[in-house]
């Protein structure tokens, strides 16, 4: 599926790289990497899909890659691929990635869940991060201040994933389920079930709720272009009541 990547300029400083991906080979949930050009000219990448030729060409056009980020415990399959292409970039991921990755040669420059919570990695003037220690997949939510955009992996799905399957013969629709978005009852059940530490979840859900974002770029499903804050509040209201 080399030619299935959909490149899109979200804003002047954000590009997404969307591809088909099926969970267990059955459920189409899509995959997406996101690249952000920082104000210092460098590039921050949430690396969650393969670094194919089109993806690399666009990222190289944006500028030198300074940060390669793994968004949670399970989005680690392509970190090594990105690090080999951009060896001088800082590699940062949750501690669970170090345990799960098969590539034990990877050297991490920052580790959420192991580093002190107040650790500064260098991109914070452009992008804020909130590590969800109480979430099963140990996700990190990111907030690009200039564009009022939140970027995340498994905290919030917005299925079906029409963009991610738009270069295939599949519609990307979910068999039987129909939709799995922020206003779905499934999402609220999912948010509650994935919260292993309720007190930590309440703290981190509120932190994200305090961010001034309008757009959400998920790894799975279509981008939520407007109303992102309202979508977040609805999806995670179990922790906000």
pLDDT in tens, 71-87: 999 999 999 999 999 99
Q: Is the peptide bond before 160 cis (omega within 30 degrees of 0)?
A: yes
Q: What's the pLDDT at 93?
A: 98
Global confidence as pTM = 0.96
Is the pLDDT score of 24 beyond 80? no
Report the distance separating Cα 164 and Cα 171, nearest Å. 9
> What ranges in the chain are assigned the alpha helix state H?
53-62, 79-85, 95-100, 185-194, 198-209, 228-235
Is the pLDDT score of 189 beyond 60? yes
Mean pLDDT of 92-98: 98
Mean pLDDT of 94-110: 95
Backbone angles phi, psi at 58, to 5 degrees: -70, -45
Residue 33 belongs to a domain with what CATH number? 3.60.15.10
- The mean pLDDT value of the chain amounts to 95
Confidence of residue 192 (pLDDT cuts 50, 70, 90): very high
List Cβ neighbours of 94 (8 Å cut-off, separation of 6 or more): 70, 72, 73, 111, 112, 113, 131, 138, 139, 140
Q: What's the pLDDT at 170?
A: 79
Report the distance separating Cα 58 and Cα 78, nearest Å. 17
List Cβ neighbours of 9 (8 Å cut-off, separation of 6 or more): 15
Confidence of residue 23 (pLDDT cuts 50, 70, 90): confident
Confidence of residue 2 (pLDDT cuts 50, 70, 90): low
The structural domain count of the chain equals: 1
The domain of 221 spans 2-239
pLDDT tens digits, 138-188: 999 999 999 999 999 999 999 999 999 999 987 777 766 668 999 999 999
| Coil/strand/helix, residue 71 | coil
The CA dihedral of 42, 48, 49, 51, to the nearest 10 degrees, is 30
Mean pLDDT of 41-68: 98
Q: What's the pLDDT at 241?
A: 83
């Amino acid at each position: 599926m080399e030619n299935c990547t959909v490149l899109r300029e979200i804003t002047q400083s954000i590009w997404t790289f969307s591809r088909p991906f099926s969970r267990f080979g059955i459920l189409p949930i899509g995959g997406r990497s996101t690249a952000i050009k920082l104000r210092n000219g460098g590039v921050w990448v949430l690396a969650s899909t393969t670094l194919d030729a089109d993806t690399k060409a666009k990222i190289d056009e944006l500028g030198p890659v300074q940060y390669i980020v793994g968004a949670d415990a399970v989005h680690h399959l392509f970190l090594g691929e990105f690090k080999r292409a951009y060896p001088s970039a800082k590699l940062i991921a949750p501690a669970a990635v170090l345990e799960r990755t098969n590539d034990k040669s990877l050297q991490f420059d920052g580790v959420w869940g192991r580093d002190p919570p107040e650790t500064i990695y260098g991109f914070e003037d452009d992008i804020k991060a909130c590590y969800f220690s109480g979430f099963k997949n140990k996700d990190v939510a990111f907030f690009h201040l200039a564009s009022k955009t939140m970027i995340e992996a498994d905290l919030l799905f917005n299925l079906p994933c029409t963009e991610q399957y738009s270069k295939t013969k599949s519609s990307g629709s979910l068999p039987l389920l129909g939709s799995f978005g922020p206003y779905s009852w499934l999402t609220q059940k999912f948010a509650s079930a994935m919260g292993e530490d309720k007190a930590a979840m309440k703290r981190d859900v509120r932190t994200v709720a305090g961010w001034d974002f309008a757009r959400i770029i998920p790894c799975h499903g279509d981008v939520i272009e407007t109303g992102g804050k309202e979508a977040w509040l609805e999806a995670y209201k179990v922790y906000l009541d």
